[in-house]
Structure formats: structure tokens, C-alpha cells
Chains A and B, each alone.
With several copies, the nearest count.
Chain A
Amino acid sequence: MVIKMKEHFYEAEMVKQEIAENKRLSKRGFLDTRDISMELNTLLNADGSCIFTYGKTKIIAGVKILIDKPYPDNPDEGSISIGIELSPMSDPSFGTGPPDETSIELSRVVDRALRESKGIDWKKLCIKEGKFVWMVYVDMYIMNNDGNLFDACEYAALAAMKNARFPKIELTEDTCTIVKGEYENKVVEFTNDPLLFTFVKIDDKIILDPELVEEAASNARFSIAITNDKKMVAIQKGAEGSFKIDEIKDIVSIALKNYDVVHKKLMNAMKKK
């Protein structure tokens, strides 16, 4: 997200000077990502939760797995729903009121990264064909915005889903109800762990995993989702700037190279807790 904030004007200028000298304020390399940590399943009413930090960016993701009716077109498939609230709590530039175009874009890009990976078998979310399927809701709150909400939200959602438990149900011919407070020994299976990689362009330099001030200094954004078999599964170019075709090819290649590093970070953080 390229946020134009007056308070960041001065800092953004500093960012640009450093970048021009091939340095980042944070001392990170242009293509280095920040540290990841998380707390899993600390929210007891959620079926799964992840309090996720990426550098100083902090996301709270909560999962609810509910029974729904399938679409007539896909009577044996469940689905997921990704909602991201840009709470005015975490950033003075976010407003109250219904989701605006910024949060809609963010939610939809994260949704596509997860959905287009085809890492979830929708048919495994079927309870009873034509009647009952699982709907996996992932709602996220930004608790602190220090940049790169796209990647942070996507990682948080993935971690939360992979650790979310399915509620126990009682199923009859015509009814299906959740047994409150009881769970199956089963989590949402994601077979190929899609990860999103977001780059921004500052003047003519491209950096990975921007912080907030770096976003303020940038004018174009590029996000690409990669799966563990090194396929690209989703792309979103954003903001008013542009990329050359060759820059895009480079970005893709860097993202592919970074997949394993970031995936390992994420899996390690997941194991710790």
C-alpha cells in the first residue's frame, strides 16, 4: 500500500537518499525480508487464530469455520472468505465506515494468492453434497502498520488456517449443527503453501518487503504469489507508478529465489508456539 502521509514526507525523503546510495534505513538488503513471529490459537472463541508480526507490522487473524449451503454450480465444494479490516485503531490514515477501495484491494489480493494456489481441496470442505459445506472465514485486523500489509496478511491467514480446527458437528438427513466448544482432530489442509512477495519501486530501485516509510517513498507496487512447487499463482501491480517488462521479470525471479527462505522462517515461527 502506498500511503501518502504528510508526517512521512521528511522520512520518505531520507529513504530516497539512502536508497540512492543502495542502502535501506533499516540496514536490510534490498531483497531481505523481516523477521517473523507468531502466537497461534490464543483466542479461544476463534476456531483458529494467529497473532502475527512481520518486523513491526502486526496482524491479528481469526478463523471461524461455519456450515453453509453450497452454490448450485458446485454442490460438493466449500470455500474460504478473507476479510481485512483496516482498523482506524492501527493507523490514523484509516477511516471508520465500510471497507474502502484500499482494504478491498488488499483483501482480494490476499484471497487470490490463497485461492489461486489451489492448495486447498474445495471438495474436502464438503460435508454433504448439495446440502452442507464448510465455509472458512478468515478475518484480520491490522494491529500495527509498519508496511507490507499484503504479505503480512497473507502469511497470517495461511498460518491461521493451517492451525484452525474444524468444529464437531451433528449431521442428520436434513440438518447439520455445530457442537459448540468441541472440535474434530482436523485442520484446514493447505498442500502448497502459497506465499506472497511484495516489492515497491523507489525512484528506479526495487526493494522487497517495504516498511511504511519506504511505501511512502515509493510510487509503484508489485505483489506475486508463489507456491512450494515454484509456480506463480497470482500477481497484482498497484499504485500509480509503472514497471518495465524487464523489471517484472527480475521481480519474479527474485520472488522465486526467496520462497524457500521465507517459507522456512514462517514454518519455524509456526513450530515455536
Chain B
Amino acid sequence: MVKNEEWYFDQKGKRFDGRGQFEQRPINLKVGVIDRADGSAYVEWGQNKAVAAVYGPREMLPKHMANPNKATIRYFYRMAPFSVPDRKNPKPGRREIEISKVSGEALSRAAELEQFPNTAIDVFVTILDANAGTRITALLAASLALADAGIPMKDLVSGTSVGKAGGKLISDLSKHEEDAPDAVDLPIAMLPNSDEVVLMQMDGPLTEKEFNEILEVARKSCKEIKDMQVKVLKERFKDDFNGD
């Protein structure tokens, strides 16, 4: 890694890692990676690596937390101590708790929770390697694991990050770009079918014009990523799909 190289675009408009302005890092999806889980998935997004497991619907304990109208998704986003340049304390921090909350809410919109009142659906995601964009990497894995577990879903949750670095709008910031002085990071998750945004966070200054422009980029990316998710699930359930 070259340190302190504060440039973000070369003369040909290529980014630090050679990507084009709205080019995403390579994404690699895998479903069914943990035998004992009800559903599981593994996602690589550039250097980011996330494993997700789903257990449930199962009994909610303690019982007084159960919702009589629907299942409750409990989402645990955790970073392995070795997943970041400095060793992370294994105890979950406030950042992990916040990300778990908004990610669980995003998934809740997608799943048909009303079919399983009083139960819990536990979603565990561990980040093994991190380089900007882990919450979305995690959420893609979680969404695939949920589908793998056979939980009925209105739509898959798809997502990406967009933002800005070195004066230009870009897709899918790397850590290098996230550390730019003018960096804006805008993770977003959608249900592409219905054009619904189920997760959005943003750090750093954007004008309205920039925001509206980058939002359209994100919308398009989410659709593309969803196609990749569908493809991998189809392979997983090949027999079922063929059987139809």
C-alpha cells in the first residue's frame, strides 16, 4: 500500500485503483456456505469479505420481546478483530450497533414477517476483511442468506455505496477514497422492484444537484447487483427453478 498518495484521478480519469468513475469493484456472491445455518451466504466486494448466517424463524427469547403480529429480525453486524488495519476490540462498538439496527430495519421491509408472528429471525454477519463499504457487503450477504433460509421476501435487498472524492462523484468508494479530505460516503440499499430505498446514510457535504445525480447512479447499480443476486440464487435452487 502506498501511503499518503493524495490523488484520486489520473490524467485519463481513472481512479487510484484503476477503476472508472462509476465502476464498482468486482463482486463475488456465494450461497449456502454454513451447513448448520438455516440459510447462509458469502460475499466478496473488492477486498471486503462478509459471511452471513440466518437462523429462524425460531422461538423469540426472552418471550416478552416477541411481537404477536410478526417475526422480529435481529441483525448482528460484527467486524472480526483482524478485519481492519488496527486490531478491533472483539466487543461490539457503537458503530456496529447502529449499523445492525438500520440493516435489520432494511431487511424487515423485504421479508414477509407477518407470516411468522412471535418468532425471531436472527441474522449474523461477520466482516472478515474490510476496505470501505462493509455495511452494504454485509447486507447483500444477509439478504441472500435470508432467501437461502427460505424466508418469503417481497424482493431481495440490494445495495451499493456512492459518493464523492477528489472533487468528483464516484461509485463504490475504496478506503483510500473514503479518507479523501472532501470524501462523501453514501451507502444505500433498495428493493429494486418497487424502487424503494430501505437504507440510506450519508457523511459529508453534497449539493442537491450532486445528490440527485449520484442517486440515479445508485439506483442503476442496485438493479445490476440484484441481477447478480438472483443469478446466484437461481443456481443454488436450480432444481426448484427447473421444476417449475
A binds B: yes
Chain A residues, Cβ within 8 Å of B76: 88, 96
Given A92-B55, A238-B102: A139 and B82 interface contact (C-beta under 8 Å): yes
The CA of A181 and the CA of B2, in the complex, are separated in Å by: 8
Closest Cβ–Cβ distance, residue B120 to chain A (whole Å): 12
Q: Is the CB of A237 within 8 A of B201?
A: yes
Q: Is the CB of B82 within 8 A of A49?
A: yes
Residue-by-residue, is B208-223 near A (CB-CB < 8 Å gives 1, otherwise 0)? Answer: 1001100110010000
Q: Is the CB of B109 within 8 A of A240?
A: yes
The answer, among A105, A145, A248, A256, for a CB contact under 8 Å with B200, is A248
Chain B residues, Cβ within 8 Å of A47: 82
* B35 on the A face (CB < 8 A): yes
Interface size bucket, A side? 35 or more
The CA of A182 and the CA of B128, in the complex, are separated in Å by: 20
Q: Is the CB of A235 within 8 A of B82?
A: no
Chain B residues, Cβ within 8 Å of A137: 81-82, 87
Q: Is the CB of B212 within 8 A of A44?
A: no
A→B interface (CB under 8 Å): 43-47, 49, 56, 60, 62-64, 66, 83, 85, 87-92, 96, 98-99, 101-102, 104-105, 107-108, 112, 116-118, 137, 139, 141, 143-146, 179-182, 222, 227, 230-245, 248-249, 252-253, 256
Chain B residues, Cβ within 8 Å of A253: 208
Given A143-B51, A238-B102, A238-B105: A62 and B197 interface contact (C-beta under 8 Å): no
**15 pairs of residues in contact across A and B, judged by CB atoms under 8 Å:** A60-B128, A85-B90, A87-B126, A90-B37, A90-B53, A92-B36, A107-B94, A108-B98, A137-B81, A139-B81, A141-B126, A144-B35, A180-B85, A182-B1, A232-B208
* B122 on the A face (CB < 8 A): yes
Chain B residues, Cβ within 8 Å of A256: 208
The CA of A123 and the CA of B195, in the complex, are separated in Å by: 43
A contact face: mostly helix, strand, loop, or mixed: mixed
Q: Is the CB of A139 within 8 A of B80?
A: yes
Q: Is the CB of A242 within 8 A of B202?
A: no
Given A83-B90, A141-B126, A238-B102: A245 and B80 interface contact (C-beta under 8 Å): no
Given A45-B84, A87-B124, A105-B98: A143 and B186 interface contact (C-beta under 8 Å): no
The CA of A239 and the CA of B1, in the complex, are separated in Å by: 39
Chain A residues, Cβ within 8 Å of B84: 45
Q: Is the CB of B90 within 8 A of A248?
A: no
* B25 on the A face (CB < 8 A): no
Q: Is the CB of B87 within 8 A of A66?
A: yes
* B83 on the A face (CB < 8 A): yes
* B63 on the A face (CB < 8 A): no
Q: Is the CB of B34 within 8 A of A180?
A: no
Closest Cβ–Cβ distance, residue A188 to chain B (whole Å): 14
Q: Is the CB of B82 within 8 A of A104?
A: no
Closest Cβ–Cβ distance, residue B33 to chain A (whole Å): 8
Q: Is the CB of A43 within 8 A of B83?
A: yes
Chain B residues, Cβ within 8 Å of A116: 203-205
The CA of A145 and the CA of B195, in the complex, are separated in Å by: 33
Chain B residues, Cβ within 8 Å of A141: 80, 126, 128
Q: Is the CB of A146 within 8 A of B35?
A: yes
Chain B residues, Cβ within 8 Å of A104: 94, 97-98, 101
Interface size bucket, B side? 35 or more
Q: Is the CB of B198 within 8 A of A242?
A: yes
The answer, among B126, B198, B206, for a CB contact under 8 Å with A232, is B206
The answer, among B3, B33, B90, for a CB contact under 8 Å with A181, is B3
Given A43-B128, A90-B34: A249 and B212 interface contact (C-beta under 8 Å): yes
Q: Is the CB of B205 within 8 A of A118?
A: yes
Q: Is the CB of B82 within 8 A of A64?
A: yes
Closest Cβ–Cβ distance, residue B220 to chain A (whole Å): 11
Closest residue on chain A to residue B78 by CB atoms:
A87
Q: Is the CB of B87 within 8 A of A252?
A: no
The CA of A45 and the CA of B128, in the complex, are separated in Å by: 9
Chain B residues, Cβ within 8 Å of A96: 76
The CA of A271 and the CA of B190, in the complex, are separated in Å by: 44
Chain B residues, Cβ within 8 Å of A112: 203
The answer, among A88, A107, A234, for a CB contact under 8 Å with B202, is A234
Q: Is the CB of A62 within 8 A of B81?
A: yes
Q: Is the CB of B207 within 8 A of A230?
A: yes
The CA of A92 and the CA of B39, in the complex, are separated in Å by: 12
Closest Cβ–Cβ distance, residue B119 to chain A (whole Å): 14
Closest Cβ–Cβ distance, residue B243 to chain A (whole Å): 28
Given A45-B82, A118-B205: A240 and B36 interface contact (C-beta under 8 Å): no
Chain A residues, Cβ within 8 Å of B207: 230-232
Chain A residues, Cβ within 8 Å of B170: none
The answer, among B109, B201, B208, B212, for a CB contact under 8 Å with A242, is B109
Q: Is the CB of B85 within 8 A of A233?
A: no
